[in-house]
Structure 1
Amino acid sequence: MQFICKLMAGVFILASVCAAQTTAPNSLKTYIKEDAPMIVLNNVRLIDGTGAPARERMRIDIDHGKIVNVQSAMLRNAFPPGAKVIDLEGKTVFPGMVGMHEHLYYATPLEPKDGVVFFGEAPDSAPRLYLAAGVTTARTAGSVEPYADIELKKAIDAGKLPGPKLHLTAPYLEGAPTLGPQLYELKDAADAGRLVDYWAAEGATSFKAYMHITPDELKAAIDHAHAKGLKITGHLCSIGFTEAADMGIDNLEHGFVVDTEFYSGKKPGVCPGQRGPMMEMAKSLDIESALVQKMIQDLVSHHVAVTSTLAIFESFVAGRAPLEFETEQKSSMSGQSWSHVLETRASIAENGDKSPWAVLLKKEMEFERSFVKAGGLLMAGCDPTGFGGILAGFGDQRNLELLVEAGFTPVEAIHIATENGAKWLVEDASIGTIAPGKAADIVVVDGNPADKINDVEKVETVFKDGVGYDPAKLRASVQGLAGIR
């Protein structure tokens, strides 16, 4: 019997080795539409990511993953020898999005009434959905499975799995109490510094402070990150935006809605919870008031960027996002996740008259316009958490639409979601705009988002380093998996 067991084990190992040896050398081939070494995108409408107006009938030459020429197609200059020429008349291109508040985990449905907050890792669905939507670079704004994130990045960089270029944020830097058992609870300032040092050595390139971190812990984390040339952002509650800016924080997540410094019941270094400050903010706080405008000026003078996450905020408003948008996400979700989304939307609608979220969303939009007008660097990301109603990639597209609803022009919204994130990452020499010398990270859509921003949803091809991926095939490969893996 032992001999049979050993024999079967040996057969299993041999079969595994043989399977590995017969794997196609290019594991991404299934998802690739265009992979010629030299490609010309001809007769295309160009939104270059700088905020400049769209240009008609343009030509973009790509050579081995790099943009080498951007010119008018009307010049009719000779095409490079051997190049594949793709006629894109009626189509629009813009830079691959640089998502600055993304995650590789999902909100688990069916949490029992007396259960714990717990998130599931999404190594398959999240990277593919990001890439399918046109997100070619993504910063993970907080991790719950850091080693999974690190290994996933390695696999994507090695060309073994499809996904965006990942910039990894370490596990949350959180005080007491934590949101759930997946978050480590800091002991003190020295512990915060130790954690930053450890995860920097493991490969994290940024850090995120969370709601209950103390001022001493935040200052230590900032100092240790900056000593290594790294940056730190925060979804704060215990510490207000102005205080965090004075400490040297580089970025603040979500915007005005989570800033507690104006709450009448705020105590130094203590998170007062979310509902009280939000109810008071919705009722009485004016974006144009001297207090808020001074906070904005403080952020700008300290060069603190803000990440817009309008899509996740919208999901808490009764009747929003449009059901048509949610339906577009349905095929990517597990059945349980979809049911949970519908049930939660119904509950939000039933209690909509008691919720501050409709007013808060409007005020957040006003804040973001005011922040940019004052010279602030506004970036964008979708934060696919909440109750699961916002998925990776889909939410990034929706955020563009909401930025336009907030009062930005479509090309300004695309600039916020592309070049601005690249600048914060100090990657703007290679990504974020469509220009000679940059990586060929380019989204091709059917339509004209400069005129109708919703056309950003009509993605036909996503080029990452000059390789064109098929969004339909990427989404089909994870159909029904969001909310499972």
Structure 2
Amino acid sequence: MRRMTGGTFLLLLLPCLAYAQASSLSPATRAFVSVDAPVIALTNARVIDGTGRPVHTGQTLVIRDGLIQAVGDTRSVELPRDAEVIDLSGRSVLPGFVMLHEHMFYPAGRRAYNQQSYSFPRLYLAGGATTIRTAGSMVPYADLNLKRAIDAGEIPGPRMDVTSPYLNGPGLPILNVKALRGPDDARRMVTYWADEGVTSFKVYMQISRAELAAVIEEAHKRGTKVTGHLCSVTYWEAAELGIDNLEHGFFASTDFVDDKREDECPSGNAAIQSLLELEPDGPEFKALLHGLIEHGVALTSTLPVFETYTPGRPPVDDRVLDAMLPEARDQYLRTHARIAIQADSPWSRLFPKLMQLERAFALAGGLLVVGTDPTGYGGVVAGYSNLRAVELLVEAGFSPVEAISIATLNGARYLEMDDRLGTISVGKLADLVVVRGDPTTNIHDIENVELVFKDGIGYDSESLLASVVGTVGLR
């Protein structure tokens, strides 16, 4: 199923649209802009282009009217006379990240979630995420209006693929989430929210197969895709129904639970136990693996949120703590300390197992994309966690170049935007991340973000981060 985007028409308009956006930024947005010129030349850079190919050193990129006009060896690329020249010696340039499990809310505790329309857009952009999918909304009108404000240049932030409210059956103890009343109600929800402007749909744990089928059918009629954090429906059942994407790697798979009942979540830790006992080289897992790939189902890695539940993992660094509201910081630190001493936690084995299964999916030819899921108990903060997600992919066994490609090109492919972003290529939007150092030799250098270009406009990462200190959890 391909989304109808009018891509050819948009490509013709891209230079005009990028130029128009640059000239229409509000003073509030322009306060974070450090580079803005019709023609920009980034010289002497190390280029990690997002394709998975080896790094290129001594490169020059020319940006004109928001698009990449030239990429090549500094000795051979002719600098336009009118270019603003920026020497990037010692720096690496990556494509803007395309992150597919993000939210504009943050856990406040006791199953409450506060909308972060102020802090999260700035944090995502500061962390190099120039394009995100919200992967479920608690306050959908806030997300839709936020997207419109960002697109209009009124506030700084990433371009957004806005996902519907969670489409779920009865049984979830979160007051923000509606319980569907059957397949007809599911169709009504899809129709209503598609008309309101959402561009993706998210199904959740207690949905039935009949409701899921209705969502998929109706969404595909509208040219939109469906992703899911499942439980009551197995991955195999969802794939046969035509789902486009499954969230959280294999964590939400209930395919291997022996006494799994139709349209019901397994009780207790049965699903986790089944994954711990699963043999990655065994016939059951291989059958599911190849079935998902044959059905064209993408898988979203969300390792940052799972890391927070795993004893022995490091706490977030001081910059992340400083971004939090004091109450949010205290909540996070107390919970992290309690988890750290849980010697018998299944997460000590489950976390590396999930890494192993995700890598097996990618090696078999599956489309692995990545996101962060800023939920849990507050240890996953927008922007910072996007960089952590790439580091964790490397820990899972991917090379730095492979991990960066998963976080850029793969996400663009899923969104069907790879004709205009996701790699550093001539003719594509100048969505770029400039980092100090070389992430291909030390992946932690990816944290040293200095500049983030979106549509050819360079935003100062540190200024964006400084503007939200002490606000995460509040707004």
Could you list the per-position Cα deviations for residues 255-304 of structure 1 after superposition, in whole angstroms to 9, with x for gaps in the alignment? 1121011012311110114622213422x211221101110000000000
CA deviation after TM superposition for structure 1 residue 203, in Å: 0.4
Contact in 2 for aligned 1:59/1:72 (Cα 8 Å): yes
What is residue 280 of structure 2 aligned with on the other side? 287
What is residue 367 of structure 2 aligned with on the other side? 377
Query: Aligned AA for 2:35?
Result: E
- Structure 1 segment 109-128 matched on structure 2, within 5 A: 109=109, 111=110, 117-128=111-122
Say which is worse superposed, 264-273 or 92-101, in terms of deviation. 264-273
Query: Aligned AA for 1:373?
Result: L
What is residue 9 of structure 2 aligned with on the other side? none
What is residue 26 of structure 1 aligned with on the other side? 27
Alpha-carbon distance in 2 for matches of 1:275, 1:125: 35
Query: Aligned AA for 1:433?
Result: T
Alpha-carbon distance in 2 for matches of 1:267, 1:261: 11
What is residue 418 of structure 1 aligned with on the other side? 408
- Structure 1 segment 77-476 matched on structure 2, within 5 A: 77-109=77-109, 111=110, 117-273=111-267, 275-282=269-276, 284-320=277-313, 322-323=314-315, 325-351=316-342, 353-476=343-466
Alpha-carbon distance in 1 for matches of 2:434, 2:268: 40
Contact in 2 for aligned 1:431/1:438 (Cα 8 Å): yes
Alpha-carbon distance in 2 for matches of 1:142, 1:222: 15
Q: Secondary structure at the match of 1:101?
A: coil
Contact in 1 for aligned 2:39/2:84 (Cα 8 Å): yes
Q: Secondary structure at the match of 1:198?
A: helix
CA deviation after TM superposition for structure 1 residue 449, in Å: 0.3
Count of residue pairs brought into register by the alignment: 452
Query: Aligned AA for 1:293?
Result: K
Q: Secondary structure at the match of 2:416?
A: coil
Alpha-carbon distance in 2 for matches of 1:246, 1:280: 22
Q: Secondary structure at the match of 1:257?
A: coil
Q: Which has the larger radius of gyration?
A: 1
CA deviation after TM superposition for structure 1 residue 128, in Å: 0.6
Contact in 2 for aligned 1:326/1:389 (Cα 8 Å): no
CA deviation after TM superposition for structure 1 residue 178, in Å: 2.2
Alpha-carbon distance in 2 for matches of 1:179, 1:389: 22
CA deviation after TM superposition for structure 1 residue 422, in Å: 0.3
Q: Secondary structure at the match of 2:417?
A: coil
What is residue 481 of structure 1 aligned with on the other side? 471
Alpha-carbon distance in 2 for matches of 1:101, 1:275: 24
Query: Aligned AA for 1:51?
Result: G
Could you list the per-position Cα deviations for residues 191-246 of structure 1 after superposition, in whole angstroms to 9, with x for gaps in the alignment? 10110011000000000110000000000000000111110000000011111000
Contact in 2 for aligned 1:237/1:273 (Cα 8 Å): no
Q: Secondary structure at the match of 1:166?
A: strand
Query: Aligned AA for 2:360?
Result: S
Alpha-carbon distance in 1 for matches of 2:174, 2:396: 33
Give yes or no for the alignment of 1:61 onto 2:62. Answer: yes
Contact in 1 for aligned 2:26/2:154 (Cα 8 Å): no
CA deviation after TM superposition for structure 1 residue 327, in Å: 2.3
Alpha-carbon distance in 1 for matches of 2:250, 2:154: 40
TM-score (norm 1): 0.92
What is residue 14 of structure 2 aligned with on the other side? none
TM-score (norm 2): 0.93
Could you list the per-position Cα deviations for residues 320-373 of structure 1 after superposition, in whole angstroms to 9, with x for gaps in the alignment? 1x23x332301110111111111001111122x221112111111111111011
Alpha-carbon distance in 1 for matches of 2:275, 2:469: 40
Query: Aligned AA for 1:303?
Result: G
Q: Secondary structure at the match of 1:171?
A: strand
CA deviation after TM superposition for structure 1 residue 311, in Å: 0.8
Contact in 1 for aligned 2:438/2:445 (Cα 8 Å): yes
Q: Which structure 2 residue ranges, 5 or more long, are not aligned?
A: 1-24
What is residue 37 of structure 1 aligned with on the other side? 38
Alpha-carbon distance in 2 for matches of 1:220, 1:285: 31
Query: Aligned AA for 1:61?
Result: V
Calculate the aligned-residue CA RMSD, in Å. 1.3
CA deviation after TM superposition for structure 1 residue 25, in Å: 4.8
CA deviation after TM superposition for structure 1 residue 475, in Å: 1.0
